[in-house]
């Protein structure tokens, strides 16, 4: 390019400087072509102007563009003033002035601080500016180049003056860097450099800048490895160049800061008058920072320290290997962590590890000589205080670490202390060590034969542990021999913290985890740790080493399995030996129970199994409480809760516990019982003197041939349990042969009538689900024999009990509901459903019906349904009353019952008749309700009131017994006793009552119970023929007693008799009968021998019809009156051949002990008056009396009376008086004696007195 310019200038000069210059632009293309032909550049010139001045030519070039492989340049204008005369005299170009305007140079080759080895070519651009131009000025120009970081940067040159004098080159001006992002500030530049042999060789460069951006001047390595975001400094720098390279330098960073990294790892560096010196030392460099307290990183001022680094690359002394010498004082490691990424000699991996460990503390002295490729020549001397770092990879964390390290690769010593230090050595240990204090010295020796590391005294006081001992590690380099020796004594004041010190990789993670969870508390004194042998041969199964840890643990709490309760206050010896662990304890508490001879062994860690054995002793509740705290709660625990054992119990327990997670514990053993009590909780009953043994294997229990006393009698007990995947099943078999008289729960009144023994057995199955959402299930089968029983119950005699044979019952349900059903001798079936959810036991529904091969169906709604078969024996009511009225002798059973009760039967024999299709329903709980009764014999309703008497309204009653109770003439002194205390007071109204096939009519009465007394008052019976009024009293106790009083009346005696279907000889005659009677026994079955009372009767005008056979005379025959009339008819045939008319019949009678006596029964007849007296024995049916007949036929009054009563009868009497008057009128009195049986009485005439005789 220089040659082209020279040629250009020469051409111009040759064409005539004076005349050619004004027209030079016409030859511009010729000039460009010539230059390009003789050089390796491409040239463009927009316009050339020329003029001649006195000193020489003046040229102005505009829009100049020059391009080649290394540099591209363009200028808007170049003004050149050539001193032609000086140039000719010196035979070299001399320019008065060269000014470049807006010169833009793009330097394509990266800029470097290293000097160039080749001389400057005069034809090059550098040669043009450094050799051809002795003086030039750049205005508003810029130089674009690649920085060492390979970032394209523009050097802005507002004005720069350059002066070249011989071999001295000087420059002065201002420059500013500009990248593609921004401008980076102005630098004041002063350069004074000399060249030798065309090479810039020696000199000084001075740079001074305020707040300049240093990023472009930093290497690409630094930007990429630190994430440098900005670096702005005010600086002064002196760089000395010798022999074409930098020889030394001084950098004064007066003020500034740099930022790198991203949050949360962002870093900040601030300086305040920091001096950095460097100089060459041989082929290496010595860097020195004499004062570090001028640094501030992340707002922390560095301590007053210093750093020196000597780097010797490929040193002859170190066999052409790089060597480093580092000396430092008072270095805070935390501050070093912040700037470490800026050191190019530190690898990114090292920086990463340093950042992970985050060292802290003071490095007071550090001296290191190291040859990375020959580490055996390393020398180190360190002294540090309160150093800490975090765990990373295999190096554990530590803090408050103070020590001195002196030595080399062959030998040395480390003296260290730890105070309140936190050492994290996971995963070798389960948790960090909390070291209160540690002291010790470690020695090492390393040569061609061996490596040895040892300590004669180590003392460590950590959380809950104090260890003191020594160790030695030896490794041969000539063979595989390795030996580790450890002897230590250990004191533990809290064994619950011992898990921190288990070397889990050495012990095995499963064992370490197990012991960590198992040992909860305790103390150990003088525990011993012994290790001897090659660690690779551990656990020394070939007897080629020794490992043993003996720990006498006292007052310990040991949880041998997570689900099992911990053992507390335990004195146990732990003996770790080789690959196993043996634990021994004399006794330990299992809850409130006691275990003795406890052994716990892990024979081999690899098998991961723990075996525990112990003998057990305690009360039944203590054993149950213990198992309730174990994983066997849902099996053994719940079983022993449902079957509660009282008294002392012994046994043994064996556990097989897998140390690996996810495997089940196996528990088995025996429980021995000797005359214990057993409460069967589901049925709230207790067994006593229980003797035997049952075994368990996990949740499976088996008890065989256990003996006990239940309810005072012997019983056999067998039971078993099975622990299924989804539930736990309990089966219990009970059986015995019991004497009814010894069952205390039965009422005495029942035991007085039932005796003998019953063979019974019961099978119980209980299913307890493991899931809380599922419900338990209960199934019971029960059977009891009846054949050996003897009974005196009404209707339930020995023969019937043998026919029935057995009572069978089954129960199925859950904790909420229970269904109980069964049969009595396959004749009567029953079925019930019980609600167990509420605090009060509640019967939801029940059925009693004829047995049809299975329990009867339950009703759809909540009720008690008795669908009974035909009941023909009325004595069943007495039997039922015996059960329900007996005194139970205990507390009442509080059971909730259904509201509705319904009773159905095709036929019920009661009171001498069968009540057909009886259907009765009522509300058991309502205080006021209406009960309807329906049958073919009875229809009506009962109105129940809470605060007033009940009302029984009967629409229809048909009572036609097979036999009248009154016909029973024998005493019933063994009648049952009735308790009326629970009977209500009641008013009874019957609209249509029938009895004995006879319609009675309307009936009403009021019944009032009082204790054992039932009172009837205001009783009435009315129909078209009669009126009855009745009051009665029924007293029940040891012997029943009945009292009645009332009256019976009607308008015509024969109509009343005919109404009731009876033919009587009395015609007409209104009547009134008053009575007052009492007897022993129930009202419907009077005891005639105890009958007492009084009768009073009064009959009006009527007649006694002519006597005939059949039922017409039965009524008179009762008192033998019919026989008397026949006697009179025989004796006085003409007089008594027709009806016997009377005006009235009056009389009173008394009954005493079944003997009726009368003295004044008077019949006022028309033809005669009859007076009766005497006694009738109603029990023996015997009569002893007399009748006095006084004739009245002759009397005129008698005839008139006869006409008045009956005209026809009056006519007959009148005729008789005329015909018979002479004979009948002569008789005054006839007396008869009546004796003998009521059926065939004997009548004798004992007196016939004539009037004449009387006179």
What count of other Cβ atoms lies within 10 Å of the Cβ of residue 997?
A: 11
Looking at the structure of the chain, the number of domains it has is: 5
Structure tokens of 911?
């009171």
Answer yes or no: do 1059 and 1113 share one domain.
no
Residue range 356-376, pLDDT digits in tens:
888 999 999 999 998 888 888
Label residue 1137 by pLDDT band (50, 70, 90): low
Answer yes or no: do 375 and 390 share one domain.
yes
Distance CA 1070, CA 1140 (A): 16
The answer to whether residue 681 is domain-embedded is yes
pLDDT at residue 229 in the model: 76
Distance CA 468, CA 493 (A): 15
The DSSP bridge partners found for residue 1071 are 1050, 1099
The answer to whether residue 570 is domain-embedded is no
Residue after which a domain boundary falls, among 231, 260, 289:
260
Distance CA 956, CA 114 (A): 140
Classify 1087 as helix, strand or coil: coil
The answer to whether 985 and 975 have CB atoms below 8 angstroms apart is: no
pLDDT surpassing 80 at residue 117: no
The answer to whether residue 399 is domain-embedded is yes
pLDDT at residue 1059 in the model: 82
The least confident of 241-245, 670-674, 745-749 is 745-749
pLDDT surpassing 60 at residue 1214: no
Average per-residue pLDDT in the chain?
81
The answer to whether 677 and 708 have CB atoms below 8 angstroms apart is: no
pLDDT surpassing 90 at residue 1191: no
Label residue 217 by pLDDT band (50, 70, 90): low
Radius of gyration of the chain (CA): 69
Give the mean model confidence (pLDDT) for residues 845-872.
Answer: 88
pLDDT surpassing 50 at residue 1222: no
Sign of the Cα torsion 206, 212, 216, 222 reads positive
Burial class, 891, CB count within 10 angstroms (exposed 0-12 / middle 13-18 / buried 19+): exposed
Label residue 18 by pLDDT band (50, 70, 90): low
pLDDT at residue 882 in the model: 64
pLDDT surpassing 50 at residue 1218: no
**How many Cα neighbours within 13 Å face the side chain of 1124?**
28
pLDDT at residue 1146 in the model: 93
Residue after which a domain boundary falls, among 387, 414, 441:
414
Alpha helix positions (H), 697-797: 748-751
Classify 329 as helix, strand or coil: strand
Give the mean model confidence (pLDDT) for residues 1188-1202.
Answer: 56
pLDDT surpassing 70 at residue 454: yes
Q: Cβ neighbours of residue 33 under 8 Å, at least 6 residues apart?
A: none
The DSSP bridge partners found for residue 332 are 362
Answer yes or no: do 1112 and 1086 share one domain.
no
Classify 779 as helix, strand or coil: strand
- Going by the DSSP 8-state scheme, the letter that residue 392 receives in this structure is B
Structure tokens of 44?
């463009």
Residue range 525-571, pLDDT digits in tens:
999 999 899 988 888 888 888 888 899 989 888 887 777 788 888 88
Q: What DSSP assignment string belongs to 486-502?
A: EEEEEEES-GGGGGGG-
Answer yes or no: do 293 and 226 share one domain.
no
Q: Which structural domain range is residue 371 located in?
A: 281-414
Distance CA 355, CA 372 (A): 22
What count of other Cβ atoms lies within 10 Å of the Cβ of residue 1196?
A: 9
The answer to whether residue 268 is domain-embedded is no
Distance CA 498, CA 487 (A): 18
Answer yes or no: do 1113 and 1096 share one domain.
no
Residue 500's Cα: distance from chain center in Å?
33
pLDDT surpassing 90 at residue 179: no
Answer yes or no: do 868 and 943 share one domain.
no
The answer to whether 780 and 822 have CB atoms below 8 angstroms apart is: no
Answer yes or no: do 733 and 878 share one domain.
yes
Nearest residue to 376 via CA among 327, 319, 436, 310 = 319
3-state helix vs strand vs coil in the chain, percent to 5: 20, 55, 25
Question: Regarding predicted confidence, which is higher, 1157 or 150?
Answer: 1157
Residue range 793-839, pLDDT digits in tens:
777 788 888 888 899 999 998 878 889 999 988 888 999 998 888 77
Give the mean model confidence (pLDDT) for residues 1085-1110.
Answer: 82
Q: Which of 272-276, 641-645, 698-702, 1117-1121 has the highest mean pLDDT?
A: 272-276
Alpha-carbon distance values, 652 to 584, 596, 693 (Å): 16, 9, 11
Alpha helix positions (H), 618-745: 620-628, 638-642
Give the mean model confidence (pLDDT) for residues 241-255.
Answer: 86
Answer yes or no: do 1063 and 1114 share one domain.
no
Query: CA geometry: angle at 356 spanning 351 and 357, to 5°?
Result: 100
Structure tokens of 473?
């590690």
Strand duo 754-769 + 789-793: pairing:
antiparallel
The answer to whether residue 49 is domain-embedded is no
The least confident of 240-254, 1041-1055, 1201-1215 is 1201-1215
Answer yes or no: do 1190 and 1162 share one domain.
yes
Answer yes or no: do 317 and 175 share one domain.
no
What count of other Cβ atoms lies within 10 Å of the Cβ of residue 1145?
A: 24
The answer to whether residue 1056 is domain-embedded is yes
The answer to whether residue 76 is domain-embedded is no
Instruction: Specify the residue for token string 């070299």.
Output: 92
Residue range 1143-1169, pLDDT digits in tens:
999 999 999 999 999 988 898 888 888
pLDDT at residue 1070 in the model: 94
Distance CA 92, CA 1070 (A): 191
Question: Regarding predicted confidence, which is higher, 48 or 627?
Answer: 48
Residue after which a domain boundary falls, among 363, 381, 414:
414
- Going by the DSSP 8-state scheme, the letter that residue 636 receives in this structure is I
Give the mean model confidence (pLDDT) for residues 684-708.
Answer: 84
Residue range 284-314, pLDDT digits in tens:
888 898 988 888 888 888 899 899 989 888 8
Label residue 925 by pLDDT band (50, 70, 90): confident
Counting residues of the chain whose pLDDT is more than 70, the rounded percentage is 85
Answer yes or no: do 1096 and 1108 share one domain.
no
pLDDT at residue 382 in the model: 92
Distance CA 581, CA 567 (A): 18
The answer to whether 563 and 631 have CB atoms below 8 angstroms apart is: yes
The answer to whether residue 145 is domain-embedded is yes
Answer yes or no: do 1108 and 1007 share one domain.
no
Alpha helix positions (H), 64-134: 84-90, 125-127
Alpha-carbon distance values, 1094 to 124, 347, 789, 1097, 1117 (Å): 174, 140, 49, 10, 20
């Amino acid at each position: 390019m220089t040659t082209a310019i020279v040629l250009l200038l020469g051409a111009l000069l040759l064409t005539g400087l004076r005349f050619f210059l004004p027209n030079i632009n016409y030859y511009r293309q010729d000039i460009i072509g010539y230059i390009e032909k003789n050089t390796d550049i491409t040239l463009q010139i927009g316009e050339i102007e020329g003029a001649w001045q006195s000193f020489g030519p003046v040229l102005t070039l505009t829009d100049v563009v020059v391009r080649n492989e290394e540099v591209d340049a363009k200028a808007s204008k170049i003004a050149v003033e050539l001193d032609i005369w000086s140039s000719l005299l010196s035979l070299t170009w001399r320019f008065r002035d060269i000014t470049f305007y807006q010169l833009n140079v793009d330097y394509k080759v990266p800029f470097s601080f290293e000097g160039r080895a080749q001389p400057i070519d005069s034809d090059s651009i550098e040669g043009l500016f450094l050799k051809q131009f002795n003086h030039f000025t750049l205005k508003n120009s810029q130089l674009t180049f690649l920085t060492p970081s390979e970032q394209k940067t523009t050097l802005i040159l507002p004005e720069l003056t350059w002066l070249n004098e011989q071999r001295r080159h000087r420059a002065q001006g201002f420059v500013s860097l500009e990248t593609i992002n921004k401008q980076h500030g102005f630098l004041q530049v002063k350069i004074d450099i000399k060249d030798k042999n065309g090479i810039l060789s020696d000199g000084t460069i001075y740079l001074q800048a305020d707040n300049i951006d240093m990023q472009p001047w930093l290497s690409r390595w630094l930007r990429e490895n630190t994430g440098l975001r900005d670096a702005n400094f005010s600086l002064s720098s002196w760089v000395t160049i010798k022999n074409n390279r930098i020889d030394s330098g001084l950098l004064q960073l007066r003020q500034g800061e740099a930022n790198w990294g991203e949050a949360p790892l962002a870093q900040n560096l601030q300086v305040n008058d920091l001096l950095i010196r460097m100089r060459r030392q041989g082929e290496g460099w010595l860097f020195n920072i004499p004062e570090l307290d001028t640094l501030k990183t992340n707002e922390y001022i560095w301590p007053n320290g210093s750093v020196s680094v000597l780097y010797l690359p490929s040193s002859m002394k170190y066999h052409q290997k790089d060597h480093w010498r580092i000396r430092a004082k008072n270095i805070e490691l935390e501050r070093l962590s912040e700037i470490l990424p800026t050191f190019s000699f530190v690898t990114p991996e090292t920086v990463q590890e340093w950042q992970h460990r985050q060292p802290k503390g003071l490095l007071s002295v550090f001296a290191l000589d190291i040859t990375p490729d020959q580490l055996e020549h390393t020398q180190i001397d360190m002294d540090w205080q309160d150093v800490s770092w975090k765990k990373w990879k295999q190096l554990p964390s530590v803090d408050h670490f103070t020590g001195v390290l002196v030595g080399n690769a062959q030998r040395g010593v480390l003296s260290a202390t730890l105070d309140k230090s936190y050492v994290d050595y996971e995963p070798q240990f389960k948790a960090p060590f909390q070291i209160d204090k540690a002291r010790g010295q470690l020695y090492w020796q390393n040569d061609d034969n061996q490596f040895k590391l040892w300590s004669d005294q180590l003392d460590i006081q950590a959380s809950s542990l104090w260890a003191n001992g020594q160790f030695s590690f030896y490794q041969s380099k000539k063979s595989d021999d390795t030996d580790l020796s450890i002897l230590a004594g250990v004191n533990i004041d809290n064994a619950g913290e011992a898990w921190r010190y288990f070397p889990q990789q050495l012990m095995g993670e499963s064992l370490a985890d197990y012991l960590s969870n198992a040992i909860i508390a305790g103390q150990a004194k003088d525990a011993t740790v012994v290790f001897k042998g090659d660690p690779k041969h551990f656990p020394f199964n070939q007897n080629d080493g020794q490992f043993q840890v003996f720990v006498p643990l006292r007052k310990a709490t040991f949880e041998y399995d997570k689900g099992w309760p911990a053992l507390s206050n335990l004195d146990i010896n732990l003996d770790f030996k080789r690959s196993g662990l043996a634990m021994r304890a004399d006794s330990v508490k299992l809850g409130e129970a006691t275990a003795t001879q406890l052994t716990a062994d892990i024979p081999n860690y690899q098998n991961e199994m723990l075996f525990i054995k112990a003998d057990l002793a305690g009360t039944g509740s203590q054993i149950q409480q213990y198992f309730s705290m174990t994983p066997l709660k849902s099996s053994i625990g719940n079983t022993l809760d449902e079957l509660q054992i009282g008294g002392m119990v012994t046994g043994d327990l064996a556990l097989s516990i897998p140390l690996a997670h996810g495997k089940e514990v196996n528990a088995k053993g025996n429980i021995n019982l000797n005359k214990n009590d057993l409460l069967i909780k589901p049925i709230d009953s207790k067994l006593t003197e229980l003797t035997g043994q049952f075994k368990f294997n996990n949740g499976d229990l088996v008890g065989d041939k256990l003996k006990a006393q239940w309810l005072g009698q012997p019983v056999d007990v067998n039971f078993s349990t099975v622990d299924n995947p989804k539930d736990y099943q309990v089966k219990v078999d009970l059986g015995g042969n019991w004497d009814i008289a010894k069952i205390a729960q039965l009422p005495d009144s029942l035991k007085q009538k039932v005796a003998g023994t019953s063979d019974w057995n019961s099978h119980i199955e209980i299913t307890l689900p493991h899931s809380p959402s599922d419900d338990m299930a209960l199934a019971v089968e029960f059977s009891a024999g009846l054949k050996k029983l003897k009974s005196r119950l009404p209707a339930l005699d020995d023969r019937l009990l043998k026919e029935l044979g057995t009572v069978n019952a089954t129960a199925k349900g859950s904790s909420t509901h229970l269904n109980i059903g069964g049969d009595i001798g396959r004749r009567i079936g029953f079925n019930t459903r019980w609600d167990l959810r509420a605090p009060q036991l509640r019967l939801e529904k029940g059925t009693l019906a004829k047995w049809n091969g299975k329990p009867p169906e339950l009703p759809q709604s909540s009720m008690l349904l008795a669908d009974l078969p035909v009941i023909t024996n009325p004595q069943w009511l007495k039997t039922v009353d015996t059960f329900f009225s007996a005194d139970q002798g205990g507390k009442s059973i509080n059971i909730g019952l259904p509201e509705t009760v319904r009773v159905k039967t095709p036929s019920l024999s009661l009171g001498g008749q069968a009540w057909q299709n009886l259907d009765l329903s009522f509300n058991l709980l309502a205080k006021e309700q209406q009960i309807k009764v329906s049958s073919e014999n009875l229809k009506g309703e009962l109105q129940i009131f809470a605060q007033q008497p009940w009302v029984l309204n009967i629409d229809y009653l048909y009572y036609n017994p097979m036999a009248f109770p009154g016909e029973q003439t024998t005493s019933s002194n063994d009648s049952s006793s009735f308790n009326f205390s629970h009977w209500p007071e009641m008013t009874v109204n019957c609209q249509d009552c029938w009895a004995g096939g006879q319609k009675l009519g309307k009936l009403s009465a009021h019944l009032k119970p009082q204790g054992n007394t039932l009172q009837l008052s205001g009783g009435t019976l009315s129909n078209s023929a009669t009126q009855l009024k009745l009051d009665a009293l029924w007293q029940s106790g040891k012997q029943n007693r009945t009292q009645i009083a009332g009256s019976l009346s009607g308008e015509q005696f024969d109509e009343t008799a005919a109404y009731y279907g009876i033919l009587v000889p009395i015609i007409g005659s209104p009547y009134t009968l008053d009575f007052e009677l009492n007897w022993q026994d129930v009202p419907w079955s009077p005891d005639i021998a105890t009958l007492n009372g009084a009768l009073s009767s009064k009959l009006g005008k009527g007649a006694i019809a002519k006597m005939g056979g059949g039922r017409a005379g039965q009524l008179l025959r009762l008192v033998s009156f019919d026989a008397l009339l026949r006697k009179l008819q025989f004796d006085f045939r003409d007089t008594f051949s027709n009806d016997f008319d009377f005006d009235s019949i009056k009389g009173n009678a008394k009954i005493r002990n079944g003997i009726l006596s009368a003295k004044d029964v008077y019949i006022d007849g028309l033809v005669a008056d009859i007076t009766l007296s005497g006694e009738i024995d109603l029990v023996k049916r015997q009569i002893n009396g007399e009748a006095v007949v006084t004739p009245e036929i002759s009397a005129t009054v008698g005839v008139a009376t006869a006409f008045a009563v009956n005209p026809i009868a009056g006519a007959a009497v009148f005729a008789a008086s005329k015909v018979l008057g002479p004979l009948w009128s002569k008789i005054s009195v006839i007396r008869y004696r009546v004796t003998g049986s009521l059926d065939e009485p004997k009548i004798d005439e004992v007196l016939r007195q004539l009037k004449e005789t009387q006179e």
